[in-house]
Amino acid sequence: MHFCTVQVAISGDIQQVVHRNAMSPVSWPELEVLRFVHGEDAITEIKPIARIDQGQRDERERLTLIYGREPVEKCFGARNSQIEMEAYDVKLVDGVQWLNPITNHIETTGGAPPEPEDIPVLPPRVRKAGPQNLAQPEKPF
């Protein structure tokens, strides 16, 4: 399944446009739901940026959690109907960082995944038992 960046005109109003960028991408099937909710002409500048393995049933469930049952059923019909999951004839660009909404991790397209950063481990702080060198309060006259 492809994820895309896209411009969404809220309710078709070109004065109120939301840009769904690589840190909030839209799945290919989600474009249909957005067209149903906001209007056919409300979705522009669609650019596929990444591809992941996702089953149709899982994507239908994810979209139902986000948009509710009615828009998803209006777009895709009955429970087991086929959903178009991929854009065709697309060349994805390597090296694009994006937030995968399925895993909620930032990933980079193409190539091997980056190695996790080593976090330095600091030695534990140990407190000595007994009184510390605390300043004694002054005694009144």
Do the domain assignments include residue 121?
Answer: no
Statement: residue 74 has pLDDT above 70: yes
Band the pLDDT of 20: cuts 50, 70, 90: very high
What is the pLDDT at residue 135? 59
Contact 51, 7 (CB under 8 A): no
Q: Is 39 exposed, middle or buried (0-12, 13-18, 19+ CB in 10 A)?
A: middle
What value does the mean pLDDT of the chain take?
Answer: 85
52 assigned to some structural domain: yes
Q: What's the mean pLDDT in 18-40?
A: 94
Q: Over range 35-53, report the average pLDDT.
A: 93
- Tens of pLDDT, residue by residue over 94-121, are 999 999 999 999 999 886 555 656 666 6
Number of domains composing the chain: 1
Range of the domain at 57: 2-107
Query: Which whole number is the average pLDDT over 40-54?
Result: 93
